[in-house]
Amino acid sequence: MKIRNSKVLLTGATGGIGQAIARELTTYGAQVLLTGRNSKILERLASELNCEQIACDLSNEVQTKALLEKVGDVDIYIANAGIPGAGSTLDLESSEIDNVIDVNLRVPIKSSTIISRSMITRGAGHIVFISSLSGLVASPTTMLYSATKFGLRGYALSLRQELAPKGVGVSVILPGFIRDAGMFAEAKVDLPRGTRTKAPQDVSSAVMSAIENNIAEILVAPIELRIGAKLGTVFPRLAELAQNAGPARAMAERLRDAQRNVH
């Protein structure tokens, strides 16, 4: 799929990673439709990039339906929007659980189902889902977030197999710790000493590469975190021990508390 001159719908455009993706899309010559909850940031970004924008809260079913009706056919759909859902489900209200599942999983699934129909008709298109390394390895403080990101990865890879014969590509991007942007940066929690990070531009570059080369999955993280995440999928008990080690557990709890305060 070529990005140049394509029509792209990008959700979660007002976050740091979303803004990086939006900027790179425009350098590739795409016609980008931006959407996000923060209308002020959205308007500034759209003005900067000369893009169309539609403010939308994806947890609101009426707004989401109206967005998809207004957007119409697109060549590329990037499902980037997401919320943390920090904390144990034992501590979350039912409405909070529904909200996280809606934004992180249900809306990407339902939206991609609708959007892919016109792609199938044309025999071309690409869908990108932004998951997380938390979609490979879980932690006790992010159980709901991990559940949605595990689900998003599984759905994306299954949808890829379904749509491949119809000429439509599907990719999933799994960022690790991203500096200066994203949920972790917003929480302002220090990482354990020696932990390396990636930049928002690394995520946006991965998205462009996935689209143009039809790559199934890209992990955006330093090599040691990529290896650790892959090992964690094969040896979940090993991942459990690592996640509950002193510094890692302490950081996860600080992150949980900070994200609860932010959101």
What pLDDT is attached to residue 171?
A: 98
* Structural domain includes residue 74: yes
Q: Rounded to an integer, what distance in angstroms lies between the CA atom of residue 20 and that of residue 133?
A: 19
* Structural domain includes residue 1: no
pTM over 0.75: yes
What pLDDT is attached to residue 240?
A: 76
* Structural domain includes residue 174: yes
Domain count, the chain: 1
* Structural domain includes residue 196: yes
* pLDDT per residue as tens digits for the range 80-107: 999 987 666 777 788 889 999 999 999 9
Could you tell me the CATH number of the domain that includes residue 62? 3.40.50.720
* Structural domain includes residue 2: no
What pLDDT is attached to residue 1?
A: 87
Can you tell me whether residue 141 is helix, strand or coil? Answer: coil
Domain range for 74 is 7-262
* Structural domain includes residue 62: yes
71: left (phi over 0), alpha (psi -120 to 50) or beta: alpha
**94, containing H or E segment:** helix 94-101
Strands across the sheet containing 52-55: 52-55, 31-36, 7-10, 76-79, 125-130, 168-175, 217-220
Residues of the chain with pLDDT under 70: 86-88, 182-190, 192, 245-263
* Structural domain includes residue 214: yes
Q: Which residues are tagged catalytic? A: 145
